[in-house]
Amino acid sequence: MTILTASPLLDRKGDFPGMAGDWAYLDTAATSQKPQAVIDAIARCYGPEYATVHRGVYERSATMTLRYEEARATVARFIGAATPDEVVFVRGATEGINLVAQSWGQRLQAGDRVLISALEHHSNIVPWQMLRDRAGIIIDVAPLTDDGRIDEDALIAMIRPETRLVAIAHVSNVLGGVADVARIADAAHAMGALLMVDGCQAAPRLALDMAALGCDFYVLSGHKLYGPTGIGVLWARAEILESMPPWQGGGAMIDTVTFEHTSYAPSPARFEAGTPHIEGVIGLAAAIDYVESVGIDRIHAHEAELVRRTRAALAGINSITLYGPQASAGILSFTMAGVHPHDIGTILDEAGVAIRAGHHCAQPLMKLLNVPATARASFGLYNSADDVDRLVAGLARVTRIFGIKP
């Protein structure tokens, strides 16, 4: 095996306490490590600055409320939203998609159609199946190209007058391919359908602009964006949010309550019942500030180069099959003939290399690829060419242990 070495495009590993020690963390698509700036922001929020939001009239509560809403404005700026009121805080992308399915989806009837693709995460499959079982909608599935991207020509041809929603991943969490969201949005709108985009893997590495993308819903998870777990974002166009009923009842989402009748607050408060994840919101804003200080385009270029180097190092190994397009966004899945991905992951872990092995919450895609699972290396801004070297050396050890000719 050829070991590739070169100076890293970025050198930010020292900003991440979780990257300390002798290991190569290559599982950023599952969850990212957190920079010290995010950890500090959360610690201050839990410590000397802590108070509730939207309720207290005392100074610290008012200050925390201001910071909370400033964080909403930070998210809006980062994704190119027209106004902060289009930003709804949720627990993560999964909850955001379920919110759309259970609130906006109430208008769907038997015979209405939702179009997804064959590479979707379970979070963009199961909520629509639940709606199908409840309301009788029909789910259509668009195929993939030979190199593992959404076949956009086929998808667009599948949009019918009965299609109410197209729901696709901006970046595949398994194959790393990037969808042309703007093109798909134009095609969906031309047929009277809306477009929802799963942006979990896109937000940490692609510049976002909701107006330019032209979609109607967009979801992301903070923990994949160098922020904390338990916080995410649902963005939707203001007029769509205002047309949607609440999906959870409780405090903060109401206007007035009597035993006879309740009126609801305008969005986004209508969709944020209960005491919010204050620390998560503050931590997410700190993560966005950190990412913007590095530069999202630099991060994407850095990760794309690491994927290119990894592909080049593994392409000549006959026992390894690489999946996905050549130009992928920070993610590379592969298999090794005669070795289960779980065994690959275990042996790599012994060498201090952390990858993901499994179906990656995309079992229908695994079936399409005709494999039970894949091994996946996914990169972040803290990775370097040295991590690629360690991955390649670790895979060489796998071949020796299993007696496989490379």
Q: Using N-to-C axis directions, what is the helix angle for 278-294 and 59-79, rounded to 10°?
A: 40
Any idea which residue has 């209508």 for tokens?
270
> Is 45 a known active-site residue?
no
Query: For residues 232 and 96, is the Cβ–Cβ distance under 8 A?
Result: yes
Q: Write the burial class of residue 372 (CB in 10 Å: 0-12 exposed, 13-18 middle, 19+ buried).
A: middle
Long-range contacts of residues 179-187, Cβ cutoff 8 Å, at least 24 apart = 179/149, 179/150, 179/152, 180/152, 181/213, 181/214, 181/215, 182/212, 182/213, 182/214, 183/152, 183/156, 184/152, 184/155, 184/156, 185/213, 185/214, 185/215, 185/216, 186/214, 187/155, 187/156, 187/159
**Domain(s) of CATH 3.90.1150.10: residues in the chain:** 13-35+295-402
Domain 38-293 matching CATH 3.50.30.60: the answer reads no
pLDDT at position 22 over 80: yes
Q: How confident is the model at residue 405 (pLDDT cuts 50, 70, 90)?
A: confident
| CA atoms of 307 and 326, how far apart (whole Å) | 9
**Domain(s) of CATH 3.40.640.10: residues in the chain:** 38-293
Query: Annotated catalytic residue: which of 45, 200, 215, 361?
Result: 361
- The average pLDDT across 367-372 equals 97
pLDDT in tens, 47-70: 999 999 998 889 999 999 999 999
Res 2: pLDDT: 39
CATH of segment(s) 13-35+295-402: 3.90.1150.10
pLDDT in tens, 203-212: 999 999 999 9
Q: Tell me the whole-structure pTM to 2 decimals.
A: 0.96
